Structures are given as C-alpha cells and as structure tokens.
Amino acid sequence: MTVNTKLRGAGMGAVLFLVAALLFVAGLSRLSLGVASAVAAEDTAPEPPESAVEIPDGGALFDALRAREARLLEQEKALADRSDALRAAEAQLRRQLDELQAAESRLAATLAQTESAAENDLSRLTTVFEHMKPPQAAALFATMETEFAAGFIARLDPQFAGEVMAELDPTLAYGISAVLAGRHAQTPRE
C-alpha cells in the first residue's frame, strides 16, 4: 500500500467521521430549537389573571413528554441508520480501493515484465548485429525503415556503428544521422 493510498484512506475516514458529526450536531440543534421555541412561546403567552390560574393537567404534560421522547427516539434511530449506512459505504469503498490497488500492482508487474522482455530482445539483436561484418550489417540496415535502423545504430558500439554507417548509401546514412540528432530535440533543457 503506497503512502498516497494510506493518506487517501485516512482522508476518507476523516471525511466520513466529519459528515457523521455534522449530522449529529444538526440533529441536536433541531432538538434545541424545538425546546427554545417552546420556551419562547411560553414567555410570550399572556399571563392569565391570578384568579383564573389553572393547574396544568399532569396527564397532558406527561403525554406531550412521551410524544417528544418518541420523536427523539425516531430521530436517534434515523441517525443510527445513517451512521450504519455510512460505515457500510466506507467498508465497500475500502474493498474497492484494495481491489483497485491489487489490479494496479498486477498491471505494473505485467508492464515491467513486458518491458524487460522487449529490452532483452533488443539487446540480443544488437549483439547479433555487432557480430556481423560491417558490410553485412549495412546491407541489413539498408532494408530497414530509417527510424528503425537509427534505433539500432544508436545501440551499437560506436566503433562498429561508424563502420556500418560508412558502408551505407550516403542518403540513408544522412537520414539515420538526422533521426539520431533530432531524437532529443524536444527534450526540455531546464
């Protein structure tokens, strides 16, 4: 697991925790707003004359408290359900991320193996060319595309490459030289 992946995983956990905390705080604020509005409603209600003061019915108050408790329990259950859903989504994301990282590792290994095999083939072919006599190698290079021939000339021992270039048709030798000279022309200097 790379450092980037660990940081990404830690960041995802922190984000999910933050979202859950915000949802919890929002629920608490809604609860406190309900209590505050009830208190405010009581403060603004005109007081009845002292002779008309009634003793509140204990049963009605108890029923109101039970109803409020039921709503709070319902909200609490909804928050718990959301929290469970977030945890499940986070677990699924982690599984998918692990699968993606495994696939990335397999792909990188396959690419490395392919590049290694291609490099081995090119090295062997270069060695074969270097074991030829310069006129024989030049005859072979004369049949190749200019860019392809330039790639092999660049890999050859400089002494042998010079002998092969001397055996080539001057126009072809110039084309190969131009390709070799222009290979890194687009490379940034700084």
For the stretch 136-167, pLDDT in tens is 989 998 998 989 889 889 889 999 999 999 99
Q: 160: how many CB neighbours lie within 10 A of its CB?
A: 17
Give the pLDDT of residue 11: 67
- Per the model's pLDDT, the better-predicted residue between 7 and 143 turns out to be 143
* Count, residues in the chain: 190
Helix (H, G, I), strand (E, B) or coil at 56: coil
Average pLDDT score over the chain = 81
User: Do the Cβ atoms of 174 and 149 come closer than 8 Å?
Assistant: no
Helix (H, G, I), strand (E, B) or coil at 96: helix
| pTM of the complete model | 0.42
Give the pLDDT of residue 62: 87
- Per the model's pLDDT, the better-predicted residue between 51 and 189 turns out to be 189
Phi, psi dihedrals of residue 189, rounded to the nearest 5°: -85, -25
Give the pLDDT of residue 43: 54
User: Do the Cβ atoms of 146 and 183 come closer than 8 Å?
Assistant: no
Give the pLDDT of residue 60: 86
Find, among 38, 30, 17, 16, the residue nearest to 74 by Cα: 30
- Rounded to 5°, the CA angle 52-53-57 comes to 125
